[in-house]
């Protein structure tokens, strides 16, 4: 990327009408996510009391909070474990996905050959792969990492390849007419152009990576939130199961927000130029 758009202050051009300063009032839109989350928990808490639901069916948020506090050391180690396997798998997916995406987008031949294979591979439920990974690598971190990798890597490949494949033919003609080689077209246009697609796919990929590592942990692991929830379930400790869910949600949201922030920082130009993919 030669010049990220936000490195220079962008003054409005003459024909862009400056918006008048908004009157000061409560920022409803900004507050909406918090308000809705609070509402969800309030309704949840109220319903549990109203319908007198037993704790082993649906524990109230207050009970779950109690469980989080009570089991904090366990929850913390397992949360860190899940975060660790997820992030390692995700990092591998980023490296592998970027490399394969560039390769696939590079040549029609590679694209035509690999695409059906990748579709087929992606169609396999990853839960079915875990037993094989266990045979190969035993119970532990490795199957969780690899499952996270396998499930997260596909959207990255597809997005990077899409960015490369959708170069305007006119742009390519202009450059080729000047004597540009394939490599020039890739470096000057293809790769910068596929970056918004790549960074856009990270949000999806990190979410999927959590799915992968937790699947693997519930099948074959001695630690991690998935394992912890499975153990808690077998002891009918339903509040702890829900505590694990809440921790997964928190980690997922935090990582998603991080990826969204990275996307915003790196490829702001795509949003302003309207080139961003719709997601």
Partner 1 sequence: MTSHLVTIDNVDMRYGGPGGTLAVSGLTLHVDKGEFTAVVGPSGCGKSTLMKLVTGLHIPQVGAITVAGKEVTEPVSIVGMAFQNPTLLPWRTTLDNILLPLEIVQRHRRRLRANKAEYVEKAEHLLETVGLKGFGDKYPWQLSGGMQQRANLCRALIHEPDLLMLDEPFGALDAFTREELWCVIRDLHHETDVTIQLVTHDLREAVFLADRIFVMSARPGRIIDTHSVPFERPRDLEVMYTAEFTDLVHDLRGQIAQARTEQLEAAQ
List residues near partner 1 by CB under 8 A.
1-5, 8, 10, 12-13, 15-16, 168, 170-171, 173-180, 184, 188-189, 192-193, 267, 269-270, 272-275
Cα–Cα separations (whole angstroms), residue 218 to 97, 225, 252: 26, 8, 17
Residues 109, 164 contacting (CB under 8 angstroms): no
Least CB distance from residue 166 to partner 1, whole Å? 12
Residue number, 31 or 183, with CB nearest to partner 1: 183
Residue number, 232 or 270, with CB nearest to partner 1: 270
Total Cβ atoms within 10 A of residue 53: 13
Least CB distance from residue 10 to partner 1, whole Å? 7
Beta strands in the chain (DSSP E): none
Residue number, 65 or 188, with CB nearest to partner 1: 188
Q: Compute and round to an integer the Cα radius of gyration of the chain.
A: 23
Least CB distance from residue 222 to partner 1, whole Å? 47
Q: Which of 199, 233, 237 is nearest to 218 (CA)?
A: 233
Alpha-helical segments (H) within 166-190: 169-177, 182-185
- Token pair belonging to 120: 């087929």
Q: What angle do CA 201, 249, 203 make, to 5 degrees?
A: 5
DSSP state of 187: I
Residue number, 173 or 261, with CB nearest to partner 1: 173
Least CB distance from residue 268 to partner 1, whole Å? 9
Residue number, 105 or 212, with CB nearest to partner 1: 105
**Which residue carries 């596929």 as its tokens?**
194
Least CB distance from residue 236 to partner 1, whole Å? 56
Residues 94, 149 contacting (CB under 8 angstroms): no
Least CB distance from residue 35 to partner 1, whole Å? 34
Least CB distance from residue 16 to partner 1, whole Å? 7
- Number of residues written out for the chain: 279
Please compute, for residue 76, the number of CA atoms within 13 A of its CA located in the half-sphere on the CB side. 5
Dihedral of the alpha carbons of 218, 221, 225, 228, in degrees to the nearest 10: 80
Residue number, 18 or 178, with CB nearest to partner 1: 178
Residue number, 190 or 212, with CB nearest to partner 1: 190
């Amino acid at each position: 990327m030669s010049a990220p758009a936000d490195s220079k202050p962008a003054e409005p051009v003459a024909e862009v009408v400056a918006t008048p300063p908004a009157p000061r009032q409560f920022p409803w839109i900004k507050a909406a996510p918090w308000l809705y989350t609070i509402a969800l928990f309030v309704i949840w808490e109220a319903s549990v009391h109203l319908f007198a639901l037993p704790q082993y069916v649906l524990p109230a948020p207050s009970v779950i909070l109690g469980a989080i506090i009570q089991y904090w050391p366990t929850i913390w180690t397992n949360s860190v474990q899940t975060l660790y396997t997820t992030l390692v798998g995700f990092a591998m997916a980023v490296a592998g996905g970027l490399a394969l995406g560039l390769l696939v987008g590079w040549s029609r031949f590679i694209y035509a050959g690999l695409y059906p294979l990748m579709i087929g591979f992606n169609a396999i439920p990853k839960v079915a792969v875990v037993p094989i990974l266990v045979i190969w690598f035993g119970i532990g971190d490795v199957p969780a990492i690899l499952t996270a990798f396998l499930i997260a890597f596909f959207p990255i490949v597809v997005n990077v390849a899409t960015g490369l494949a959708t170069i305007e033919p006119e742009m390519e003609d202009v450059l080729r007419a000047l004597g540009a080689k394939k490599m020039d077209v890739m470096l000057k246009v293809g790769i910068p152009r596929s970056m918004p697609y790549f960074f856009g796919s990270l949000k999806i990929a990190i979410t999927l990576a959590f799915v992968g590592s937790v699947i693997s942990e519930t099948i074959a692991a001695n630690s991690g939130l998935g394992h912890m929830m499975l153990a808690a379930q077998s002891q009918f400790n339903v509040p702890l199961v829900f505590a694990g869910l809440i921790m997964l949600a928190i980690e997922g949201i935090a990582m998603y927000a991080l990826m969204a922030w990275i996307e915003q920082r790196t490829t702001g130009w795509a949003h302003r130029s309207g080139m961003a993919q719709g997601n």
